[in-house]
Amino acid sequence: MSSTKPLIKIDEETSDFASEIVERGARIFPKEELKRLLTCIQCGTCYGSCPSGRITAYNVRVIMRKAQLGLKEEVLRDENLWSCTTCYTCQERCPREVETTDTIRLIRNMAFEAGYVKKPHLIVSRNFIETGHSIPLRDEDKEKRKRVGVPEIPPTTLTFPEALKEVQTLVEATGFKEKVLKLLEEG
């Protein structure tokens, strides 16, 4: 296991954003693991391993560094943040065991809350709110499913209306639905 002692000196002012990420994430992930953000040595293993980084401008290493430096607005506004597919390759290969993917997910949540999200993501979110699926099931998909011998409609919220009600209860209770619809309206 790698040392969790920060390798860079980050003063109180610049570490506010990194601390905010850690504190918010501590509701879900172990705080000590999230603090490894401060141990990132910028080796580039995350970026070199990233499938998305090969075909987009997404650079997880740069985002981690900007988070360390407290460049909150710059990180939250970065459209490339949404190119992460959450495959966990970077996190699995990090020699410092930095929770890179989990940190990106936390930052994206913060960006979403601040209203920095691409319209296609909002459309996918609206689909999820309405059907429990991010991508609608088309007639051609049903045909393909039938051809391979599985039910036309998968055993998900599409066949279990009570499950869809649970999803919709959650998206309303968390404020997700309201935020998505507001951002879509704002355009």
40-44: long-range contacts, CB 8 A cutoff, minimum separation 24: 40/7, 40/64, 40/65, 40/68, 40/94, 40/96, 40/98, 41/7, 41/95, 41/96, 43/95, 43/96
The average pLDDT across 154-175 equals 94
pLDDT at 187: 78
Smallest CA-to-CA distance from 35 within 20, 50, 14 is with: 20
Q: Is the pLDDT of residue 21 over 90?
A: yes
Delineate the domains of the chain, giving CATH numbers in brackets.
12-113 (1.10.1060.10), 119-186 (no CATH)
Three-state secondary structure readout of the chain: CCCCCCCCCCCHHHHHHHHHHHHHHCCCCCHHHHHHHHHCCCCCHHHHHCHHHHHCCCCHHHHHHHHHHCCHHHHHHCHHHHHCCCCCHHHHHCCCCCCHHHHHHHHHHHHHHCCCCCHHHHHHHHHHHHHCCCCCCCHHHHHHHHHCCCCCCCCCCCCCHHHHHHHHHHHHHCCHHHHHHHHHHHC
Q: What is the pLDDT of residues 93-118, one digit of tens each?
A: 999 999 999 999 999 999 999 999 98
**pTM of the predicted model as reported, rounded to 2 decimal places:** 0.80
Quick count: other Cβ atoms within 10 Å of Cβ 45?
19
Q: What is the pLDDT of residues 114-138, one digit of tens each?
A: 999 989 999 999 999 999 998 889 9
